[in-house]
Amino acid sequence: MDEPLPARPGSRLAVLGSPVAHSKSPALHRAAYARLGLDWEYSAIEMTGDRLAAFVDERDASWRGLSLTMPLKQDVLPLLDEVDELATLTGAANTVVFDGGRRRGFNTDVGGIVRTLGESGVRSIDRGILIGAGATAASALVAMAELGAREVRVLVRRPGSADPLGVLGRNAGVAVDELPLAALGELGEGDGELVIATVPGGTDLGVAPAAALVAGAALLDVAYDPWPSPLGAAWLAGSGRVVHGLGMLLHQALLQVRVFVHGDPFTELPGEHDVLAVMRESVR
């Protein structure tokens, strides 16, 4: 028999970001709380960094927490009383829980990436390729480190923009090399077993991936709307292995639900297998 859920103050939650109207987070979270028997509200609120501090300050005791998407994962850090190890390492928090007057921040993106890749059979790598250098790229780099990567090539449009990831790589035990985005058309099978793209959905990279790379590396494109992304379409056209970005969203959301319910991303939910199943069904 499942243990009863702990009593928690606050029953209001929301995902914040810009743009946020397309977000599937409300569907995922509402499905989870309904399955858990919790009468909690979860909405989507358009939010920019310049308004974030005032918004957070105005939350009253009816609020349990927030999910954060672009461009707020870094902006929220100065507003928090404490952050978990992954949020500290990556410099990005996608989850805030209001807990006894304290604002606690977490990064569930790393776990979401690792879990969806594992579900797709990608459980260890030696070399990785990362497209983009923003907050989600930081989480992707740490996820690659957790999978055992020794080297990660970061492909960017603007020279020098991967410098912060170089610092992060040293802290995570991964050698990071910056390459121009055009290298996507030149890299081959031996350059990496996994490619993670972290650029916004619909972005045209302006370069086609090399056929040898498509044949030899799995692609996780964290963008899920529209789907397939231009890069995902190129991978599918070459009969490459593609991991849908919805998987990352699903698994990071499950970890967020753990945080909102238990205050801890490592404590499983009652009937978690069923919770995950209804969440998955909500975004099919």
Our answer to whether residue 73 is catalytic in this structure is: yes
The CA distance from 50 to 60, in Å, is 20
SS3 154: strand
Residues in contact with 145: Cβ distance below 8 Å, sequence separation at least 6, in sequence order: 169, 172, 173, 174
The CA distance from 35 to 113, in Å, is 24
Among residues 29, 25, 30, 2, which one has the least CA distance to residue 249? 25
Instruction: State the burial class of residue 265 (Cβ atoms within 10 Å of its Cβ: 0-12, 13-18, 19+).
Output: buried
The CA distance from 53 to 34, in Å, is 30
CB atoms within 10 A of CB 64: 25
The CA distance from 139 to 109, in Å, is 6
DSSP string, 9-38: S--EEEEEESS-TT--HHHHHHHHHHHHT-
Measured CA angle at 256 (ends 17, 224), to 5 deg: 55
The CA distance from 67 to 50, in Å, is 17
Name the active-site residue from 29, 64, 73, 103.
73
DSSP, res 41: E
The set of catalytic residues is 73
